[in-house]
Amino acid sequence: MRSRFGAAGLLAATAVLAVACATADDWSEPHAKPSAVGTLGPGFVNSAAPPTPEATITPSPGSWGDVRPSPGYRVVLLTTGDAPETKTLVNAVTEWAGQEEVSLKTVTADAPARFTASITEAMDRKPDLIICAGKDLVDPLTVITANHLDQQFLVLGAELAEPTANVTAANWPGASFRGEGLGTSTGYDPASFTPERAAAAVRAGVASVLSGLTGIVIRLG
């Protein structure tokens, strides 16, 4: 009897653990509104003159380093293409999510005909933030984001020509593709997409969103 009870107890414990693991990452469950843990450092913005919508800021290096998301932060990585620069961005997001224990899901837009559907799929998951990697997503995002102001977006290595308040961009010279045939003022340089710049863009962009500074372009050096 003792052996049978022990086995039954082990099975029950295993079942409870399995349920806990299944529900720990269940985005269908409500969760607390995310917040910033920490504050932006001096030089991120001029606190006496906050940036206006669509403004471009050039924060001091590392001024975002003390800000991280509160526990339970839910992020969808929306990506397209297999160019080396896109892979660099994807790796930066994945590494950041692991370091900060962010709940990360990925939606891959595998063809231009699927761009709109993929953006919609990302929104349907109701994340706290959608991080976009892949310059070919810029034009579809321009069409969709303005109609979904309750969803926050962060665009890496590119920017929308006329972003609404829910779209923040983080880029640098050589990585400011704007779509719509507008090109960039500095030229698009895939070689500028280094792991260090990509990692800084993720952290600076997320810190800005968490701190309520959205709808702007964060230009890194």
Work out how many domains the chain is built from and give that number: 2
The reported pTM is 0.86
Same domain, yes or no: 12 and 121: no
Res 150: pLDDT: 96
Query: Residue-wise pLDDT tens for the chain (221 aa)?
Result: 444 434 444 444 443 333 333 334 679 888 888 999 999 999 999 888 889 989 999 999 999 999 999 999 999 999 999 999 999 999 999 999 999 999 999 999 999 999 999 999 999 999 999 999 999 999 999 999 999 999 999 999 999 988 999 999 999 999 977 765 544 444 789 999 999 999 999 999 999 999 999 999 999 98
* Structural domain boundaries enclosing 6: 1-30
Same domain, yes or no: 175 and 197: yes
Same domain, yes or no: 8 and 63: no
Res 25: pLDDT: 61
Same domain, yes or no: 15 and 86: no
Same domain, yes or no: 18 and 97: no
69: Cα within 13 Å, side-chain hemisphere: 26
Same domain, yes or no: 106 and 168: yes
Same domain, yes or no: 89 and 100: yes
